[in-house]
Chains A and B, each alone.
Chain A
C-alpha cells in the first residue's frame, strides 16, 4: 500500500540479537535497522547466518536473546503463524520458492487471497493474472504445476505469490542464486521496478555481487557472528575491515562495481 505512509521510518528494528544453536554461536549481539522504502541487502559468506537472521526477522526462528521489531511489533508474537494481521503486510520469497507442489502456479499465487480476503472468484482471477504478468511469467504457465516449471520460473512464481497481497515489505532469500546472468539481472531489474511501482521496502539475503552493486541502497555484511559493516556499497568498498575488503575488492567485486557504474552511466545517457 504505497500511500499508507506512516510516521515511523524504520520498518525493521533488530537490537542486540544473539543466536545459538546448541554450542554454535551464529549471531553475537547484532543490531541493525531497516528504513521504509529502501532496498536493504544482508550479505556475507556462506554459513554466516544470513538466512537465519532473515528467518528470525519474519518470526520463523526465535533468537536466543535480543529483540526484533517488525512494524514495531515484537517478532516473537509472529511465531505461531496464527494469522496475525502483520502477516498481510509482508511477503516472503524463499530460496527454493516454497511453492505448494499440489497446486498449479495460479492456485499458488491465489492462496493468500483466498485465505485472507473475501474477494469474488472473478476478481481473484484478475489479480492473480495481473501478478503473474507483473513478474513477467507467460500467461500459459499459470496452469502448470511447480515441478513442471524451471528454476527461474519457480522463483518468479514465488515472487508473484509474495506480492499478491500488495505487501509493504518484501523479503527475498537469495533471489538470484543459481540463475543465469541474463535471468539474474532481469530479476534484479524486476525487483527494482516493482519496488518503484508498488513502493516496497525490500530486504534481501544475497551474495550476488552484481545484485549488491546494482539495486541495493544499503548493505549489511555479516561475518564472525557480527555485523562487520553497514552502509552503501561505495562506503563498504572503501571499508578498512579485512573481511569486507576481501569480500568486495576481489576480482569479482571490482568487476561487478565497474559493471554497475557502466549500467548507471548507460541509464543516465
Chain B
C-alpha cells in the first residue's frame, strides 16, 4: 500500500501508474498542476499500470480527462482494469462542482435589522404565550389542588432545596466572612466595633443572602430545567406526554416552579443564618464582639422588616428562574448545540432577571421608606 501514484506525459500519451488511492491523491494533485499537458487533438490515456483505485482516485482521473476535454481535446482511455472502469463510470455521471455549491451555506456576518426585529418579535410573543399559559395552569391548579403533582413537586424541593444546602451554606458563610472583614477595617478606625452587627445583619438579610442563593440556584436548577425539558423534547417524550392527554404545563412546569418557590425561601433563611454566623466569627476574632453581645445588638439593630423583605423576594426570584429555565427548555428544537445554547441562555437570563427584579425592589422600597 506504500505504492506511489504517478502521472506523466510521453509522446502525447498520458501514463497513469501506481495506486490511485486517497493517501496518494494530494501528491497526484500537485503533480497534475505542474504537468505539461500535451497539445494534440487526440490524447491517449494509458492506465494499464494503475494497480489500485478508489473513489477519490477515480474522481481524480475523471477530472484530468474532463479538464482536457474542456480545452477541446479528444481523449481516449485504455488499459484500465474493468473493476476500476466501473468505478470511473460511477463517478462519471455525477455533477461534481455544480451540485455542492449549495452545500456551502452563505454566512451573513451582519443580519438584516428587519430579520432581527422579526425574530425578536417572534420570541417575545412565544415568551408571552408561555407566561400566559403557565399562569393559567397555575390558577387552575390552585382551584383544584388535587391536580397538582405533589410527589414530583416534593422531588424538586429535595433536588433543588435539600441537595443545594451544602453549597449555599458554604458560599453564604464565606460571603458573611468577607463582608465582616471589610467592615471591620473601617469600624476599628472609629472604635464603633459593635456596628459590625448592623452591617452584617442588614446587608445579608435584606440583599446579599437572597441574591447569592438565587444566582446559585439559577446556575444549578435553571440550567437543569432547560436541559431536562429540552432533552425530553428531542427524544419525543414531550410529544408522548401531549398525546397521552397530559398537559406538559401540569406535568413538567408547575412542579418545578412551585417546588422552587417553596425551596428558595427556605434556602434563603438557611443562608441568612449561616452568613450571619460567618460574620459573628469575624466580629469575635477581629473586633472582640462576643456572641452574646452580637445577638443582643442584633435584636435591636436589625428590625424584622429587613428579614421579611429579603425573604419576600425569594419566591419571586424562584418563579423567574424556574419559568425562564422551563421556557428555554421548550424552545430547544433538537440537536446537541441547541441544547447547549438554550441551557446557557436560561442561566444568563435567569440571573439577569433576578438582578433586575432586585434593583426594582430596592428602588420601590426606598420610595416607600421601608
Contacts and interface: CB of A to CB of B under 8 A. Distances in A.
A104 B105 CA distance: 9
A123 B94 contact: no
Interface string B92-124: 011111011011110000000000000000000
B72 interface: no
Contacts of A102: 335-337
A199 B90 CA distance: 14
Interface in A1-56: 1-4
Nearest to B63: A126
Interface residues of A, number: 39
Given A145-B335, A147-B334, A130 B22 contact: no
A52 B94 CA distance: 38
Contact of B56 (A118, A123, A199): A123
Contacts of A263: none
A96 to B, nearest CB: 11
B171 interface: no
A242 interface: no
B21 A166 contact: yes
B292 interface: no
A73 interface: no
A197 B86 contact: yes
A125 B26 contact: no
B51 interface: yes
Contacts of A253: none
A129 interface: yes
B26 A120 contact: yes
Contacts of A118: 26
A143 B104 CA distance: 7
A104 B103 contact: yes
B59 A166 contact: no
Contacts of B25: 117, 119, 123
Interface string B328-348: 000001111100000000000
Given A2-B52, A4-B1, A104-B105, A165 B100 contact: no
Nearest to B51: A3
B97 A125 contact: yes
Contacts of B59: 123, 126-127, 130
Contact of A126 (B19, B22, B97): B97
B337 A1 contact: no
A129 B56 contact: no
Given A129-B94, A130-B91, A130-B94, A101 B336 contact: yes
Nearest to B81: A3
Given A166-B22, A197-B87, A119 B335 contact: no
A102 B97 CA distance: 24
A147 B83 contact: no
A126 B59 CA distance: 7
Given A101-B336, A119-B26, A143 B97 contact: no
B29 interface: yes
A119 B102 contact: no
Q: Which of A3, A101, A165 has the most chain B CB atoms inside 10 A of its CB?
A: A3
B122 to A, nearest CB: 19
Contacts of A147: 333-335
A68 to B, nearest CB: 23
A134 to B, nearest CB: 7
A109 to B, nearest CB: 10
B323 interface: no
A133 interface: yes
B54 interface: yes
Contacts of A166: 21-22, 54-56
Nearest to A165: B22
B56 A119 contact: yes
A179 to B, nearest CB: 18
B49 to A, nearest CB: 12
Q: Which 10 A-B pairs have the closest CB atoms?
A: A166-B54, A139-B99, A142-B103, A106-B103, A101-B335, A3-B52, A147-B334, A129-B100, A102-B337, A133-B94
25 contacts: A3-B53, A3-B81, A4-B1, A4-B52, A101-B334, A102-B335, A117-B26, A123-B25, A123-B56, A126-B63, A126-B96, A128-B103, A129-B95, A129-B99, A129-B103, A130-B59, A130-B94, A134-B55, A134-B90, A140-B102, A142-B103, A147-B333, A166-B22, A197-B90, A198-B87
Interface of A: 1-4, 100-102, 104-106, 113, 117-120, 123, 125-134, 139-140, 142-143, 145-147, 163, 165-166, 197-199
Interface of B: 1, 19, 21-23, 25-26, 29, 51-56, 59-60, 63, 81, 83-84, 86-87, 90-91, 93-97, 99-100, 102-105, 333-337
Given A126-B97, A129-B100, A133-B99, 13 more contacts: A2-B87, A3-B51, A3-B52, A4-B1, A4-B21, A106-B100, A123-B56, A130-B55, A133-B94, A139-B100, A147-B334, A165-B22, A199-B83
